[in-house]
């Protein structure tokens, strides 16, 4: 009896997953998930001397970023731009990152920058 219920449950789950795929709803793959940045550094420079900083992630097409530093998340952090091949670098506002770096070292800590990455 328990075996039948288990088999029936597995069949129903399989049918539901198949229906979700046919409806065009995106399923979570192994490449998707929440990640923590692995580095905070210069992403690129303009005119050779003007640095633009970023939080670097392993995945691609980042979204839903958030910051967990003790100084609190900046008001517009969730709308900051993504850059680079595969959009895996969250560009950090220079004025926020570089103002008083000795007072706010947590901003430079990659462990405080998080995002949902859609792929590898």
Task: Say what the pTM is.
Answer: 0.71
Q: Tell me the residue range of the domain where 5 lies.
A: 1-29
The answer to whether residues 12 and 67 belong to one domain is no
The answer to whether residues 42 and 78 belong to one domain is yes
The answer to whether residues 4 and 49 belong to one domain is no
| Segment 19-34, tens digit of pLDDT | 334 344 344 444 579 9
Model confidence at 1, in pLDDT bands (50, 70, 90)? low
Quick one: tokens of 51? 């640095």
Distance CA 39, CA 62 (A): 15
The answer to whether residues 80 and 50 belong to one domain is yes
The answer to whether residues 6 and 49 belong to one domain is no
| Segment 37-82, tens digit of pLDDT | 999 999 999 998 999 999 999 989 999 999 999 999 998 999 999 9
Exposure class string for 70-98: b at 16+ Cβ within 10 A, else e: eeeebeebeebebebeebbbbbbeeebbe
Q: Are 57 and 37 in contact (CB under 8 A)?
A: yes
The answer to whether residues 14 and 37 belong to one domain is no
Model confidence at 119, in pLDDT bands (50, 70, 90)? confident
The answer to whether residues 22 and 57 belong to one domain is no
């Amino acid at each position: 009896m328990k075996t039948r219920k288990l088999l029936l449950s597995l069949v129903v789950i399989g049918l539901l997953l198949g229906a979700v795929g046919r409806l065009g709803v995106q399923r979570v793959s192994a490449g998707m998930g929440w990640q923590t940045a692995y580095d905070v550094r210069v992403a690129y420079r303009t005119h050779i001397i003007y640095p633009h900083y970023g939080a670097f992630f392993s995945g691609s097409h980042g979204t839903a970023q958030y910051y967990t530093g003790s100084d609190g998340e900046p008001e517009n952090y969730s709308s900051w731009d993504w850059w680079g091949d595969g959009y895996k670098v969250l560009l950090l506002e220079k004025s926020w990152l570089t103002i008083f770096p000795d007072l706010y070292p947590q901003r430079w800590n990659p462990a405080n920058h998080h995002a949902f990455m859609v792929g590898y």
